[in-house]
Amino acid sequence: MSILTVGTMAFDSIETPYGKAEKVIGGACTYISWAASYWYDRIHLVSIVGRDFPEDEIASLAIRGVSMEGLVRRKDMDSFFWAGKYHADMNGRDTLITDLNVLAEFNPVLPESYRDSRYIMLGNLTPSIQTAVLDQLRGRPEVVVLDTMNFWMDTALDELKKVLARVDVLTINDEEARQLSGERSLVKAASVIREMGPRYLIIKKGEHGALLFHEDQIFFAPGLPMAEVIDPTGAGDSFAGGLIGYLARTGDISFRNMKTALIYGSVMASFCVEDFSIDRLRNLTEAEIHQRIHQFENLSSFDVNELPIRRQS
Amino acid sequence: MSILTVGTMAFDSIETPYGKAEKVIGGACTYISWAASYWYDRIHLVSIVGRDFPEDEIASLAIRGVSMEGLVRRKDMDSFFWAGKYHADMNGRDTLITDLNVLAEFNPVLPESYRDSRYIMLGNLTPSIQTAVLDQLRGRPEVVVLDTMNFWMDTALDELKKVLARVDVLTINDEEARQLSGERSLVKAASVIREMGPRYLIIKKGEHGALLFHEDQIFFAPGLPMAEVIDPTGAGDSFAGGLIGYLARTGDISFRNMKTALIYGSVMASFCVEDFSIDRLRNLTEAEIHQRIHQFENLSSFDVNELPIRRQS
């Protein structure tokens, strides 16, 4: 049983109200793999990097149990590069630069040893590439999780709908859920989107947490209130990594366990935003992680009772 | 032991994407009293209405155990009137009309029988009036809850800070918390505001739920995802009413019970927004309320385990 993670490995230049980070390690697959590696050690990575990507970064992931057999290294081009600047409230950001570089050539071919992966995490990419990855799998995976964004809804909606029909879990943000469904209410949006394929829909609301929709059930994983958010970049991918890592570790994709997986994802996201790049995810300890899980538990738990309402006299 | 509720009783004209309601019953004290009346039956109301306010509306609250001894009826003026229009996303609204009318003359004098009330709910009003009410109480109340808004931060900050020093629980929204504290992070804002007096701070985030801060603890009461929100007017006051009603009913203002009180408040708010005015709060049943409480429980509850993290090989 292995996890397959597919997505970008990249450089980011980021400006937030707390500071700047120039050309630091980023990319969906990087964050997903780091976050998942705390829970699972057979991770099959599929990505592409250029001549400028540091080998020691690749090695530090490999040492955590991430297979690099599916990593393409192009010596004739640079890595994918994104530069962005966050707004004062950290809830919005502007893209300043997007240099596709190697990403324009990304056409993933799964190594033979990857083809029976059972926990599939498709990071945000062109939907046709996500489809091509699914086409190369042997047998039916335990779970396919897909992340996407509004850009693909604008430019490749038909391709996106094709791949959505084949996934179990979709993660998008609230505005994307509204765009994809045409519904303002997230409850109605969830019904429309689950009709497109995913049994589980996770709607991410940034600092406001994440909603999980499944059949007629809803679960809400809160955002952890934090004194300081240094850099939100990669939070969604760290969330996805924690989620898929926990699911693979427990081998249970029931609604009950999926709820806990959202909390594990939220825990990894809450660490991610405490520093630039993947820096906070490099050396988390058992104690830090379990303390954070209990913070989420304390944040959410309350007693209910069967206090009868007052009868009108 | 009685609840004291102080605030407006008014008419509202409201436009939302779902429709219009012309000159319907509104006002903070109205919503608070209706919501609280499901949990407690000795409610001392302090408010002012004009010649246009229907006696049968007053009677329908009185029948639920709300004392009207503290209600001033002015036969020479009209009731407070507010007209507003909600934005398409329901998160913002524009005020179209504010006719103070009787409210300009509001100078509450507590009837003798009110002065030993022990659960005090000060609805959003001029801070000097909130102070004047506290000055008329005998002895130390069990709990004083105060609601306010950005308008008083802009126009009467010193008066507001004076009354804040005397309250146990403050309820404001996230933007107001940022304004009052000068801090962007709600965690930092909460520290600054609790220094001003309130042991408990409740930060309301509308559809995104509400945060409770107390000492070094945080609790989050989620917003219930709803297929349709007809009219958000009065949600915050219904929340406050459910909260104070539950606290008075249980006589317990520990952090543990305050968390449950936030859920009871959220339950009443979730009913409030399902219809215009107080219409949804008029005839709630035991079954409806307890089903709703369990919806909140299902929304929030998850299992945690002590799964060890994977050790790096």
What ipTM does the predicted assembly reach?
Answer: 0.94
The reply to whether residue B310 touches residue A37, judged by beta carbons under 8 angstroms, is yes
Counting Cβ atoms within 10 Å, is residue A49 exposed (0-12), middle (13-18) or buried (19+)? buried
Helix (H) or strand (E) holding B264: helix B255-272
Q: Dihedral, CA atoms, A20, A25, A29, A35, nearest 10 degrees?
A: -80
The reply to whether residue A297 touches residue B284, judged by beta carbons under 8 angstroms, is no
Sequence spans of domains, chain B = 3-300
Of B65, B88, B307, the CB nearest to A313: B65
* pLDDT at position B89: 84
Structure tokens at B261: 């009180």
Task: State the count of interchain CB pairs (< 8 A) between A and B.
Answer: 145
**CA separation for the pair B49, B75 (Å, rounded):** 9
* Strand arrangement of the beta sheet that strand B19-26 belongs to: B19-26, B10-16, B80-86, B93-99
Q: What is the pLDDT of residues B133-183, one digit of tens each?
A: 999 999 999 999 999 999 999 999 999 999 999 999 999 999 999 999 999
Helix (H) or strand (E) holding B179: helix B174-181
In 3D, which of B104, B147, B140 has the Cα closest to residue B6? Answer: B147
Kindly indicate the confidence band of residue B312, based on its pLDDT and cuts at 50, 70 and 90. low
What is the distance between the terminal CA atoms of chain A, rounded to a whole angstrom? 64
SS3 assignment, position B6: strand
Beta partners for residue A122, in sequence order: A6, A146
Residues of A in contact with B244 (CB under 8 A): none
User: What residues contact B130, with CB distance under 8 A and at least 6 apart?
Assistant: B6, B122, B146, B148, B163
The reply to whether residue A310 touches residue B38, judged by beta carbons under 8 angstroms, is yes
Q: What is the pLDDT of residues A229-268, one digit of tens each?
A: 999 999 999 999 999 999 999 999 999 999 999 999 999 9
Rg (CA), chain B: 19
Q: What value does the mean pLDDT of chain A take?
A: 96
**CA separation for the pair B266, B202 (Å, rounded):** 12
* pLDDT at position A312: 61
Q: What is the pLDDT of residues B49-99, one digit of tens each?
A: 999 999 999 999 999 999 999 999 999 999 999 999 999 888 889 999 999
Contact by Cβ (8 Å): A230, A198: no
B289 shares contact with chain A (CB less than 8 Å): yes
SS3 assignment, position B205: coil
Residue range B3-300, CATH number? 3.40.1190.20
The reply to whether residue A185 touches residue B289, judged by beta carbons under 8 angstroms, is no
Give the predicted TM-score (pTM) of the model.
Answer: 0.96
The reply to whether residue A219 touches residue B298, judged by beta carbons under 8 angstroms, is yes
**CA separation for the pair A175, A205 (Å, rounded):** 9
Residue range A3-9+27-79+110-300, CATH number? 3.40.1190.20
Beta partners for residue B200, in sequence order: B169, B214
Q: What is the pLDDT of residues A137-173, one digit of tens each?
A: 999 999 999 999 999 999 999 999 999 999 999 999 9
A283 shares contact with chain B (CB less than 8 Å): no
For each of chain A's 313 residues, which pLDDT tens digit applies?
899 999 999 999 999 998 999 999 999 999 999 999 999 999 999 999 999 999 999 999 999 999 999 999 999 999 999 999 999 888 889 999 999 999 999 999 999 999 999 999 999 999 999 999 999 999 999 999 999 999 999 999 999 999 999 999 999 999 999 999 999 999 999 999 999 999 999 999 999 999 999 999 999 999 999 999 999 999 999 999 999 999 999 999 999 999 999 999 999 999 999 999 999 999 999 999 999 999 999 999 999 988 999 976 4
Structure tokens at A264: 């594990």
**CA separation for the pair B263, B256 (Å, rounded):** 12
User: What residues contact B158, with CB distance under 8 A and at least 6 apart?
Assistant: none
Structure tokens at B65: 């155990």
Helix (H) or strand (E) holding B195: helix B186-195
B220 shares contact with chain A (CB less than 8 Å): yes
Helix (H) or strand (E) holding B128: helix B127-135
